[in-house]
Structure 1
Amino acid sequence: MAKSAIQKIAMNPSENIAYDKLVLSQQNVRRVKDGVTIEQLAEDIGRRKLLQSLNVRPVLDGDGEETGTYEVPAGGRRYLALGILVKQKRLAKNEPIPCIVNRSGTTSAEEDSLAENVHRENLHPLDQFRAFKALKEQGLDIQEIAARFFVSTATVKQRLRLASVSPKLLELYEKDEARLEQIMAFSISNDHARQEQVWERISGNPHMQEPYYIRRLLTETTVRADDRRAVYVGAEAYEAAGGVILRDLFEQDSGGWFQDAALLEQLVFDKLKLDAETIRADGWKWVETAISFPYGHTSGMRRVYAEPAELSTEEIARYEAVKAEYDALDAKYAEMEDADQEIEDKLDQLGAELDAFSDRPQVYDPAQKAIAGAFVALGANGQLQIEAGFVRPEDEPRVETGDDDEEAEGGDCDPSQSDDDSANHVVVNGRSVNGASDTAEEPEDEGIKPLPDRLVFDLTAQKTLALRNALASDPDIAFVTVLHALVLQVFYRFAKDSCLEINMVSNSLSQVQGLADTPWAKEIADRHEAWDRDMPESNNLWEFLLGLDEASRKALFAHCASLSLNAVVEPWNRRPGALAHADVLAATLGFDMVTAGWEPTVDNYLGRVTKARIIQAVREARGEDSAQLIDHMKKDLMAREAARLLVGSNWLPEPLRLEGDAAVDAGETIPEDAADETALDGDAAELPAFLADTASEEPTIQADEAKDHLEAAE
């Protein structure tokens, strides 16, 4: 049987038809204006001419004959764009237009119009990225590319950045094995090896493939641009030193990330050194610099403060003249019935001049600066934070005590010793005298000799008891006396001018990172500085305290007493009675850490415990369903999500709970493998034994040993 012949396809011919012979077909299916506007398409045709012919059909008369006019069912937007060019006289009316003429009649005009739009495949985004990159390599700048394709320069930068991602990752995107959002996240870094390393880390776990997590991994060794160090150095200086700033063109990045943390740190220290030299040149004995100092770094130092600069004779005369003029004009204006703008302006002018006298610069005494120094650190906003006027103990001026004779005699003596006149020494009424026996006969012709030490001891012992009794009968003066002793230790450090043998200990807590940035530390520091500025010389302190009103005296007493409070749990220093009293005190004050503003964060708790502890915290605060949302996550991501879940939950870890607060449910236990999570996570840390829940883990202490521990603690 003969094989049938395959019918060959005959293409519609291409003809150049004058524009004024073309009309828009009413059978064009496109009705909704979409995509590139007609005006932009006209500009593009004007630049690069027509890239695609029009699809046309001849218009027939009643007898079926061609009329010489052609309708355009497919390519209507190009036809309209050409019409704009004709109106602008950039194109002749009879300009020949390339057209494909369909005379076959095998398909309708509507079908041709629909087929042209439906069968069109949009360009894959990756092809567009690469095309923009090719244009850039051909010499076109970003602005020119943006102008030619009617997009913003930011869009061009984004496309070029995406095209610079690792070819391996772009290939995965081309195969739909990676999402566009992921490629956008990878574009933060220009390190292809690092990009591929991160992909290997996340590719096996769908929960780790979110764009925000990719960005976090790519920037985990960088420093954010809003970090105090980056703000202090500045992007310009960092880049001038060869540093690279990573930018995210697709999300708000607050200035990006400084890639080279080591370089940034070096620039910080170099700049701090220069700033310190400038400050030291102002007359300070020493200047210490650091990015941040630990809490309590000024402990043990006295502080001196600047005072307003003294007015010169001319300034005093000017102040009195302005004040007199202001008072006279103010009194005159008060008697006037109608407002006078001229007088009001004059009063404002005089008032501003008086304020300038009050707000004159404050200066330090040069003699004080010669023994004092300053701490220079970076504030949270990246600006220099200068704490000046601190005097180290070794720099304190030496006070002559008049004890040279005493030292020559061999130092202090035991008041209980007997009557060896040559060995005794006592200070009476501020004078250093040699003691004498109270039983030895003294020749009358030698005059009155100093009292023996033993007699002085006996007499002053009686005075001490009598004074104790008198002080006990006057609670108000007793309060001032104790306050006097506390203030000496808090504000004067080494002054020994109190007759009370009261010693106050204040733990600096300097080993805790970030403690100085807490709101409680800042409130205490502000309150302490306010009182410190008001303190007189130590020898005038008693009169100063007596002159305070009762409320101020109580406030100062509370401030000093509060600095001795210590509720820190330390494994080597067990103080069960003291810690129990801290809870009782908190209950009396109506205090709890939630009200004080504490919330669990990655830094202060969640990032420092095991995964089991994190899950336990979420379970206690939000329930089992919330705990199951995070139990599959890696440690660092789990901590971040837990912090988000615990916001507003009022949850507290065991060491911050007071007696009666909700504790861990008795039926809930830590999984047996919790102890191994430190090794598994790599960066997790076990809780110290003294904070562990399980009673069996506590070391067994015999009764006698427990008694010794308690006595030692007391």
Structure 2
Amino acid sequence: MTKAAQNIVLSPSRDIPFNKLILSQSNVRRIKAGVSVEELAEDIARRGLLQSLNVRPVVDADGVETGTFEIPAGGRRFQALSLLVKQKRLAKTAPIPCIVRDAASEILAEDDSLAENMQRVALHPLDQFRAFQALREKGQGEEAIAAAFFVTPQIVKQRLKLASVAPALLEVYAEDGMTLEQLIAFTVNPDPGRQVQVWDAVKNSWNKEPYSIRRMLTETSVRASDRRAVFVGVDAYEAAGGVVLRDLFQGDDGGWLEDPALLDQLVAAKLQAETEALVSEGWKWIEVATDLPYGYSHGLRRLAGDPAPMSDEESAAHAALLAEYRGLEEEYSGQDEYPEEVDARLGQLEITMEALGQRPLIYDPAEIGRAGVFVTLDRDGSLAVYRGYVRPEDEPREETAVQDGDGADVTGQGGDVGFSNWKPSATFAGGTVITSRGQPIGADASDEEDDGALKPLPERLVMELTAHRTLALREAIGRSPDVALTLLLLKLVTDTFRTSSASGSCLEASVRHVYMSAQAPNLKDSVVAKLVDERHAAWGADLPLGDDAALWDYLTVLNHGSRLALLAHCLSFGI
């Protein structure tokens, strides 16, 4: 005979006046967690009590009910109700829905309190995302939803963004197939198709970290921190119809620009507009590029301009700043360190004086007519204008002393072979006109009177004399290491620092500058590029490049270590 199943009898519910309820000491919750009592009170005031209190009759020593009820489960709700009563928003005798446990029950009060707290199942985050979405679809705005659930509008936007991820990916997340951090990464791109495509690519990969997902979703976009975006401005890009992807969950430096082609068009248009102001300066050419390659100025001569003088107002302002700076230095010279406000003021004075000292350069108008300008973007997105570069083909032409086009030198008086008697001459349609002592040579002898004037030496004799001189120089250089090093340095310095191919050196040694045809866009901004450029500029500032004789004298008096350092620098350009 089977035993009949015992029917379950639930504890009855009833409304009990608030002033008949007290908080039980059997409540197991001691540590505050979750929503604050103040927020819970506001929620009860808005929507009422959603869950009844679990109470037990309080009995006296004889086991007789006193008419008061203790609350082992629902203490936070009771505290929220107490706050509303204290604020006079709820009457002291207001009926409170309660589940009343029999005072003689075998279930302990602590058992009820523990069960109510432990058997709760937290809402899955996806359910919360979808609930927010449902509220918005039914007409509630983000601000109203945020106020109702005591969160910020930004959090509501984030939850709604998560709910808008491709449904297939939300199901994967619901089945614990991806983490919340991975799901968050997919929100950076609103295209569901692209989201699914990226997930299919990474789901079986060892590398499916959120940052990798985010990178794949934005790989065809341009960061808002990119110098092109900074130059144009994100507002201008959006005004032109461009779309910006934004990450609501972490810093994104302003987001990603979805239309690189549009961005490049805007950059080109703005760069072109910036160059219009340069046209009036009279330069022969202007080259505009978003990014100039490393070594872009190789082979070009840089004009040496003079800083523009300060106006009277600027000079007076600079003098006043300098006087204040020196006064502060003198006043606090005896102290180990400056007071914070004094140190800050000195820094401001230095910056202001430096700005006044950075004067625009004034160039020779004749040089401007043969020189050009590079216009590009600096690494921080600002406009960069590099003025005063002369191409080799635009250099003033200097005639070389030649005879019959064979390149041999023509002698002066006494058979000396050299350049001391030669002067540049004009170039005519018939070829180069060569002069001696200011007079052209090479004319037919029958056209001139035979007055004992100098006649050119025969070509064969010139070649034989040149061979003797060359061999003598080889012998002399071979036993003079210091002269040999100076000669080598002269040639290498000329190859490295001069932009014109013309050179008066007799040495057949050279550095052929190697140009990197394949290079990353940021090569010229790299640390090593800056080191090379700084070293090159430092040497260039010291070397007397305009005169071979002065350059020879300079190289001769350099100490041994400096000569070797300069040699290494020049040779490095042939690597």
Query: Would the TM-score normalized by the shorter structure come out above 0.5?
Result: yes
Whether 1:529 aligns to 2:516 is no
8 Å Cα contact 2:496/2:513 also seen in 1: no
Please list, as runs of the form range in 1=range in 2, the aligned pairs for 1:82-161 lying within 5 A after superposition: 82-103=81-102, 105-108=104-107, 109-161=109-161
Which residue in 2 is equivalent to 1:188? 188
**Aligned equivalents of 1:499, 1:62: Cα separation in 2:** 120
Give secondary structure in 1 for the equivalent of 2:506. Answer: coil
8 Å Cα contact 2:543/2:554 also seen in 1: no
Q: CA deviation at 1:413?
A: 8.5
**Cα deviation per residue 1:384-414 (whole Å; 9 max; x = unaligned)?**
3433321122322344x498xx99xx75588
**Aligned equivalents of 2:198, 2:187: Cα separation in 1:** 12
8 Å Cα contact 2:544/2:554 also seen in 1: no
**Cα deviation per residue 1:238-259 (whole Å; 9 max; x = unaligned)?**
3333333333344444443333
Which residue in 1 is equivalent to 2:359? 361
Which residue in 1 is equivalent to 2:516? 510
Task: Name which of 554, 557, 569 aligns with 1:559.
Answer: 569
CA pair 395-496 structure 1, distance change in 2 beyond 3 A: closer
**Aligned equivalents of 1:241, 1:311: Cα separation in 2:** 41
**Aligned equivalents of 1:189, 1:37: Cα separation in 2:** 35
8 Å Cα contact 1:295/1:512 also seen in 2: no
Which residue in 2 is equivalent to 1:262? 261
**Aligned equivalents of 2:242, 2:378: Cα separation in 1:** 23
CA pair 144-449 structure 1, distance change in 2 beyond 3 A: same
CA pair 473-115 structure 1, distance change in 2 beyond 3 A: closer
Which residue in 1 is equivalent to 2:549? 542
**Aligned equivalents of 1:6, 1:467: Cα separation in 2:** 124
Please list, as runs of the form range in 1=range in 2, the aligned pairs for 1:204-243 lying within 5 A after superposition: 205=204, 207-243=206-242
Which residue in 2 is equivalent to 1:636? none
CA pair 47-489 structure 1, distance change in 2 beyond 3 A: same
8 Å Cα contact 1:484/1:498 also seen in 2: no
Give secondary structure in 2 for the equivalent of 1:207. Answer: coil
8 Å Cα contact 1:297/1:510 also seen in 2: no
8 Å Cα contact 2:300/2:500 also seen in 1: no
8 Å Cα contact 2:242/2:259 also seen in 1: yes
CA pair 537-198 structure 1, distance change in 2 beyond 3 A: closer
Q: CA deviation at 1:535?
A: 5.3
CA pair 57-450 structure 1, distance change in 2 beyond 3 A: same
Give me the CA root mean square deviation: 4.2
**Aligned equivalents of 1:484, 1:518: Cα separation in 2:** 30
Task: Name which of 470, 479, 486 aligns with 2:492.
Answer: 486
Give secondary structure in 1 for the equivalent of 2:389. Answer: strand
CA pair 165-138 structure 1, distance change in 2 beyond 3 A: same
Which residue in 2 is equivalent to 1:520? 528
Which gives a bigger RCO, structure 1 or 2 (Cα 8 Å, sep 6+)?
A: 2
Which residue in 2 is equivalent to 1:300? 299
Q: CA deviation at 1:550?
A: 0.9
CA pair 497-11 structure 1, distance change in 2 beyond 3 A: closer
| Amino acid in structure 1 at the alignment position of 2:528 | W
CA pair 402-291 structure 1, distance change in 2 beyond 3 A: closer
8 Å Cα contact 1:480/1:545 also seen in 2: yes
**Cα deviation per residue 1:515-549 (whole Å; 9 max; x = unaligned)?**
434433332222223344455573x3312441464
Which residue in 1 is equivalent to 2:337? none
CA pair 558-280 structure 1, distance change in 2 beyond 3 A: farther
Q: CA deviation at 1:82?
A: 1.0
What is the count of residue pairs matched by the alignment?
522
CA pair 56-434 structure 1, distance change in 2 beyond 3 A: closer
Q: CA deviation at 1:54?
A: 1.6
Q: CA deviation at 1:136?
A: 3.0
**Aligned equivalents of 2:490, 2:60: Cα separation in 1:** 117
**Aligned equivalents of 1:458, 1:316: Cα separation in 2:** 66
Q: CA deviation at 1:159?
A: 1.6
Q: CA deviation at 1:65?
A: 4.3
CA pair 366-51 structure 1, distance change in 2 beyond 3 A: farther
CA pair 105-446 structure 1, distance change in 2 beyond 3 A: same
Please list, as runs of the form range in 1=range in 2, the aligned pairs for 1:125-524 lying within 5 A after superposition: 125-203=125-203, 205=204, 207-310=206-309, 359=357, 361-367=359-365, 368-399=367-398, 401=399, 428=436, 431-434=439-442, 446-454=450-458, 462=468, 475-494=481-500, 496-514=502-520, 515-524=523-532
Give secondary structure in 2 for the equivalent of 1:453. Answer: coil
Which residue in 2 is equivalent to 1:21? 20
**Aligned equivalents of 2:382, 2:102: Cα separation in 1:** 79
8 Å Cα contact 2:545/2:551 also seen in 1: no
**Cα deviation per residue 1:182-238 (whole Å; 9 max; x = unaligned)?**
2222222211111112222233x2524433332232222223333333333333233
**Aligned equivalents of 2:239, 2:110: Cα separation in 1:** 63
**Aligned equivalents of 1:427, 1:457: Cα separation in 2:** 20
Scaled by the length of structure 1, the TM-score of the pair is 0.63
| Amino acid in structure 2 at the alignment position of 1:113 | S
**Aligned equivalents of 2:51, 2:455: Cα separation in 1:** 124
8 Å Cα contact 2:300/2:499 also seen in 1: yes
Which residue in 2 is equivalent to 1:80? 79
**Cα deviation per residue 1:272-308 (whole Å; 9 max; x = unaligned)?**
3333334444443322222323332222211113322
Give secondary structure in 1 for the equivalent of 2:385. Answer: strand
Which residue in 1 is equivalent to 2:414? none
Q: CA deviation at 1:53?
A: 1.8
**Cα deviation per residue 1:50-95 (whole Å; 9 max; x = unaligned)?**
2222222333345554432222222121111111122222222122
**Cα deviation per residue 1:493-527 (whole Å; 9 max; x = unaligned)?**
33535151435242433213134344333322222
| Amino acid in structure 2 at the alignment position of 1:285 | K
8 Å Cα contact 1:434/1:450 also seen in 2: no
| Amino acid in structure 2 at the alignment position of 1:516 | K
8 Å Cα contact 2:368/2:388 also seen in 1: yes
8 Å Cα contact 1:243/1:263 also seen in 2: yes
Q: CA deviation at 1:19?
A: 1.0
8 Å Cα contact 1:516/1:522 also seen in 2: yes
Give secondary structure in 1 for the equivalent of 2:98. Answer: strand
**Cα deviation per residue 1:457-482 (whole Å; 9 max; x = unaligned)?**
55565555555555556554444444
Q: CA deviation at 1:126?
A: 0.9
Further displaced range: 122-131 or 22-31: 22-31
Q: CA deviation at 1:170?
A: 1.1
8 Å Cα contact 2:186/2:195 also seen in 1: yes
8 Å Cα contact 2:58/2:68 also seen in 1: yes
8 Å Cα contact 1:186/1:215 also seen in 2: yes
Q: CA deviation at 1:139?
A: 4.1
**Cα deviation per residue 1:313-354 (whole Å; 9 max; x = unaligned)?**
x799989xx79x99xx99xx99xx9xxxxxx9xxx9xx9999
Q: CA deviation at 1:165?
A: 0.8
Whether 1:69 aligns to 2:68 is yes
**Cα deviation per residue 1:565-593 (whole Å; 9 max; x = unaligned)?**
34xxxxxxxxxxxxxxxxxxxxxxxxxxx
